[in-house]
Each structure stands twice: as C-alpha cells, then as structure tokens.
Structure 1
C-alpha cells in the first residue's frame, strides 16, 4: 500500500424588550409575542430587500475541522506487470447551512454573512473550493490506485439581526440563529493515494 500527502449596533432598548434574544434554538427565529415568523420567511424577506437591515453576527470563534475524504480519482492495472500511470484527480467542497434558504455570494444574506466573517475574523469566506492535479503513480499487477481528497473545513455559528421599517408580526427586530459549514480561503486540501487489489 502506498500513501502520500499534498496540503469571517446598537439595538434600540425598546426593541430589545419586545424580542427574545439568545433563547432561540439554532435555525429558528426569535420573538416572544404577537406571532411567530419562520426562519425561511424572515430571511427570504431579507433576500428580497424588504428589511431595513440584515446583519450577520458570528458568535464565538471559527471551529476548524477535517472534512471527510471523498473519491477524487483512480486507475486500475489488470495486467500481470507493474505499470506507471499518470492519474488525474479533482474534488470540490461547497457550503452547507441550517437556515433553509439560499445562502450564497449572490444573495443579500450571503453578502451579510461574508461581511460578518471579514469583520469578526479577518478572513475571506470561500463558497466553493476546488482542487485538481495529476500524479505519477506505480500501479502493481491486478491492482487499483484510488486517490482520496479531504478538505480542512470551518464551522461558524451566529445570528442574523433583521430590522423592519414597520412592525412585522408585532416586531421591528427579529433574530435568526444558525450554523454554516464551509471554508475560508487558504484552508488546505489533503490528498492521499491507496493501492488495493483490483476486481479484474
């Protein structure tokens, strides 16, 4: 077996009194009277430009972890002789989240998220990160070389603060909590090869 490694307001007091802060579970909207709006409903209004303000405020630090490995390429040698192969590999890793609406670089809440990451951590968010290259690999008789890729990932929890010009379901301010998983720019990939018996 052969293995190798390559490698980011003040809030009016009157509004604070009528909105529950810090009590909502991740991915939910928070208010304490006159009706409950859903997370999707609130953030969709933000994306549609129907709020005066829609800011993302991270809580705590960025949690960095190693993502699961994924198949990135392979080559099979079904002969009875060693062969040297040039194996092309590629992999991509995107962004997932718990908010239930579109969160990307082109949406209002996506831009607010990027700004929050930059201000809080001095890092730049990467919505999609890809890697591709080729390696020269000896492949034994009746063997298969599999290339795996794993991305270093970042998890950020935080709260969207939405301000409506007119009361929405009884409130000027709403708060939506959630978590985003993805990567900031510059986080490395780990590329590994594994040689196994081929099913020839």
Structure 2
C-alpha cells in the first residue's frame, strides 16, 4: 500500500525502479491476484486498450536482409526440354516481438510503436508489408523451380509503460523492455529487397510421378505452394 501511495503522489522514479524489477522477476511465473503479471498479460492489456500504454525511447537497429522465402507456386518440368513460364508471386511480411509473437494483426500495439518511432525519427514505422508481381523463369528438364523473396528488416527496441486508472497487480504502472522485428522500407541503410528464381533437381518420387500421371508425362506443370 505504501508503494501505491508513492505512485499516486508522483513518485515516478521509485515506481519505475520497483515496477521494472518486479516485471523482470515475474516474466517466468504465472500471474494471479497476489503475484506480478507476465509480459504477455501486460502486452494483451496494451493491445486491448485496458492499459494506457506508451513505447518509450525507441532505438532503431541497422537494417538487414531477411531470410529468403518461397513466394510463388512451383514449376515442375517433366519434359525433355527447357520449360519457360511467367510466374506470379506475392509476399506479406509481418512483425514479431522479442517473444516471437505477432504484433501485426489486431489491437493497438502496432499503432503505439508507429507513434513512438514517428515522434523520435520523423518517419513512419510499418508493422506489415505486402508486395506482388510476376517474373519469367526457365526450368531445366527434371527440375522444379520457384520464386523466392527476401525483405529488408529492422529491429526497434524500447520500454513499454503500462498505466492503469486503478491499481492492477497492486500497481498503477508497469514497465518491460521489448524488441520488435518488422519490415523496413526498401533501401533503408543501403539494403534492398531481393527477388530470385531458384531451382533444384526433382526427387526420385517426383520423377516417378511425372510418368505415373498421364497429365504430367512429358510436360511442365504448376503445383500450388
């Protein structure tokens, strides 16, 4: 009760120290009315709006190229000559927090982060990026080809502050550190998105299916991803 009175009367520094220590010790424990909240519970309150949250002191890391992922259907070449075809691709990249939880869909999390980054760096932060196009590809006989894409990514680190109108878990304020990984604008820090055509030899089972299926025998066909 003494701690809560200190918070109510403006003891912000004391509240920050005690709350930060409390959440650090509680993240691995289940929460109840007599215990401290988990980070997941505080994040949920930020997302729902039950907690009045801010993302303080954001720090942007250097942009880097993310992992390549298949973004098109696969072209199987069961013929004896090269197979050339235009393939459509589409890709959507979202954001995750330091626990690997998506912050892309629903709730207020993405908007809070964007507000903080915009105020600090004078440019917007996006929790998701979607892109699509088409690309011609040539696949050798007995091979399968597809299109892969890698997105420019960037990490933003900061401290969540959650404020409740009435004490929750015996406090008005809770704090925890977080790092969000999400898509960055193409060209950020000199790093560019990449789209490439990849191919590999068919497996024995895939080659067998070429002759087993009359529709595929001696032809190229597309298989949905």
Moved more, 183-192 or 83-92: 183-192
Matched with 1:195 is 199
Aligned counterparts, 1:35-184, within 5 A: 35-51=35-51, 53-73=52-72, 74-98=74-98, 103-104=103-104, 106-184=106-184
List per-residue Cα deviations over 1:46-74 (Å, max 9, x = no partner): 344334x3111144323422211111223
List per-residue Cα deviations over 1:17-39 (Å, max 9, x = no partner): 133276565x959xxxx852222
List per-residue Cα deviations over 1:140-181 (Å, max 9, x = no partner): 222322211111111112111122333333333211221211
- The structure with the greater share of residues assigned to strand is 1
**How far 1:191 sits from its partner (Å)?**
0.7
Q: Distance in 2 between matches of 1:196 and 1:182?
A: 30
TM-score by length of 2: 0.67
Q: Distance in 2 between matches of 1:102 and 1:94?
A: 7
Question: How many pairs are equivalent?
Answer: 184
Q: Is the 8 A contact 1:127 1:183 kept in 2?
A: yes
Which structure is higher in RCO with an 8 Å CA cutoff and minimum separation 6? Answer: 1
Q: Which runs of 5+ in 2 are unaligned?
A: 1-8, 29-33, 208-225
Secondary structure at 1:96's aligned position in 2? coil
TM-score by length of 1: 0.74
> Considering only CA atoms, is the larger Rg found in Structure 1 or Structure 2?
2
